[in-house]
Each structure stands twice: as structure tokens, then as C-alpha cells.
Copies of this chain bind each other. A is one copy, B any other.
Amino acid sequence: MTAVLGPNRYGKAETRVVRVTRDGEVHRLKDCNVGVSLSGDMRDVHLTGDNSAVLPTDSQKNTVYAFAKKHGITQIEEFARLLARHFVDSQPAIRHARVSIEEYAWERRGPHSFARSSGEVRTCVVHHDQDGTTTVVSGLEGLVLLNTTGSEFHGFARDEYTTLPPATDRVLATAVTARWRHTTPPDGRTSPDTLEIYDFGESYEEVRRCLIDAFAGTHSLSLQQTLYAMGARVVETRPEVCEVRLALPNKHHFLVDLSPFGMDNDNEVYYAADRPYGLIEGAVLDDAAPDAGPAWD
């Protein structure tokens, strides 16, 4: 029985950076949470504690702040790509970098005043490898959607433990976690210091709109059907996206039985349950999507 080192990575998680841009009186704000994970030839540090290949996670944190100053933060995908390339290009022992960013949205309330606009979070994960490949996955978390009608669930398989009655009109609610892979990874041929060649901000807004519209506009026979409709809407509408992955908890809203009190409940009063919940996960791809590589790791 001989122990050997398997896959490994290390880095600094949750570096909270707020970048203010001052255009005269009117300020702009970017509020991010950055995670860095580096991997490469890390055998020595694990086996003997020899740190000569280990760039401290503290330095990674410093790099986030210094790059925020030097390059600004426009789109999180761009900023993640800059960081990922930097670590791979500047550290001999590092062969691969994964940079993930969460962005918190603020709405303007004055020339230099802002209010956090939502519990929703924009996300990205960028991988960059020594071989020059880059993958970019964008996403969102905490988009909570609900339809008060237009959802059914019946005709399902039954077994000896099935007691669920069929439903022809139910509330359908979920908290969307969506991630989408970009077809043409911002390709690396341009200098990382040039302006972005691709509008990740517009792409984000349009994908988000597709997801919401498909949820709201699909008469649903199951949450799986809605999931597929949401993913397909994105893949078929947005040429820059080749794959969407969705995790949709079925946030059950149970009709309260009011009959003991002599009352009907014609789909008016619901109990919003916490646990357990259904969880539907799935991917929708362009049939010509290239191999994902490490994009989803």
C-alpha cells in the first residue's frame, strides 16, 4: 500500500474587492469576490514541505488588488482572464489557473450613492492553461422565479410508494443557478491588456432575459421541461453560448387544506416549504459545441 499524490490545486478564496471609478462627479462601482486556484508541479510541497514552487495565496490576493487598480474591472470575465493568464505566464511551476468571480449588483441612487439591488449574483469561472487554451463560463445564482399558474404535473410513473396526486394547476417556483459556456472563448490572440473584444455585459443581460422569458413563457408539464426550455432558449438565441447548465430546485408551494374550516382553497393560499425539495439538474448544448475541456471544473 503506497500513497501517491493525486489531483491538487491551491489558491486564495473570497478576496473581496470594491473598485471605484471616479469620472468627475459621477462615480462607478464594481463589487466582486474573487477566487484563485492554481495547479502545476506541486509534488515537493506536498511530500516534503519544500515551498519553492508555491506562490503564497497572500500574493494572489495582492495581485487581485493591484490588477483592480492597474486594469480596472469592467467585465468580470475579462478580469478573471487577466488574472488567470498572469499566474500561468509568470509562475514557472503553475501550469493551470482557475479564477472565479462573483459580482454583486448595485443600483445608482445619486452621483456617488448606491443601493445593493438584489440577492442575485453574477458569476464567472475562467480556466487558462499553459498550452494557451482558455475557457469562459458565465453564470448567475439566486434568481428566484415563480409562476402562479401554467404548471401541471401528472402522468408520472407510480410505484408502491407513490401517493402524490396529479396536479393540473400548481405554483412553480425555483431559484435558478445557471452557468453558460462561451463558444468562442475570448481567444487569447489579443493582448490581455487591450480592451475586451467581446461584450460580456450585453451577453449577460441577454442570457438572463432568455432564462426569465422561457420560465415565464413555458406552459410547464414538469420542471424538467421548463429547464430544457430555458437552456434551449439561450443556446438557440445566443450564438456566443454553446452550452447551458442549470440547477433548479423545485421550491414547493403546497396548497393549504382549508376544508376543516369550511373554506375552499382555489389555488389562493400556499405554504412555501423549505425542505425537502426536488432538484432538477441538466445541460442543454448546441449540437456542434466543442469539447468543454476543464470549463466546468
Determine the distance from Cα of A278 to Cα of B150 in the docked complex, in whole angstroms. 35
Q: How far is the CB of A237 from chain B (nearest CB, A)?
A: 9
Any B CB within 8 A of the CB of A134: no
Q: How far is the CB of A43 from chain B (nearest CB, A)?
A: 10
- Evaluate contact between B164 and A58: CB separation under 8 angstroms: yes
- Evaluate contact between B157 and A275: CB separation under 8 angstroms: no
Considering residues A7, A159, A258, which has the most beta carbons from chain B within 10 angstroms of its beta carbon?
Answer: A159
Determine the distance from Cα of A163 to Cα of B256 in the docked complex, in whole angstroms. 13
Chain A stretch 224-245: residues in CB contact (< 8 A) with chain B = 224-225, 227-228, 231-232, 235-236, 239, 243, 245
Considering residues A37, A109, A150, which has the most beta carbons from chain B within 10 angstroms of its beta carbon?
Answer: A109
Hey, which chain B residues are within 8 Å of A164, CB to CB? 56, 58-59
Interface string of A26-39 (1 = CB under 8 A from B): 01010100010100
On chain A, the number of residues with a Cβ less than 8 Å from chain B's Cβ atoms is: 135
Query: Which of B114, B216, B228 lies in contact with A5, CB distance below 8 A?
Result: B228
Any B CB within 8 A of the CB of A3: yes
Any B CB within 8 A of the CB of A93: yes
Hey, which chain B residues are within 8 Å of A291, CB to CB? none
Contact A49 to B225, CB < 8 A, known contacts A12-B279, A274-B274:
yes
- Evaluate contact between B148 and A256: CB separation under 8 angstroms: no
Any B CB within 8 A of the CB of A113: yes
Interface string of A5-49 (1 = CB under 8 A from B): 111111111111111111000010101000101000010011111
Any B CB within 8 A of the CB of A212: yes
Interface string of A238-277 (1 = CB under 8 A from B): 0100010100011001001010110101011111111111
- Evaluate contact between A149 and B112: CB separation under 8 angstroms: yes
Query: Which of B4, B20, B62, B275 lies in contact with A274, CB distance below 8 A?
Result: B275
Determine the distance from Cα of A164 to Cα of B272 in the docked complex, in whole angstroms. 20
Hey, which chain B residues are within 8 Å of A66, CB to CB? 161, 258, 261, 263
- Evaluate contact between B155 and A51: CB separation under 8 angstroms: yes
Determine the distance from Cα of A208 to Cα of B178 in the docked complex, in whole angstroms. 32
Hey, which chain B residues are within 8 Å of A215, CB to CB? 113
- Evaluate contact between A6 and B224: CB separation under 8 angstroms: no
- Evaluate contact between A276 and B13: CB separation under 8 angstroms: yes
Hey, which chain B residues are within 8 Å of A278, CB to CB? 10-13, 57
- Evaluate contact between A277 and B113: CB separation under 8 angstroms: no
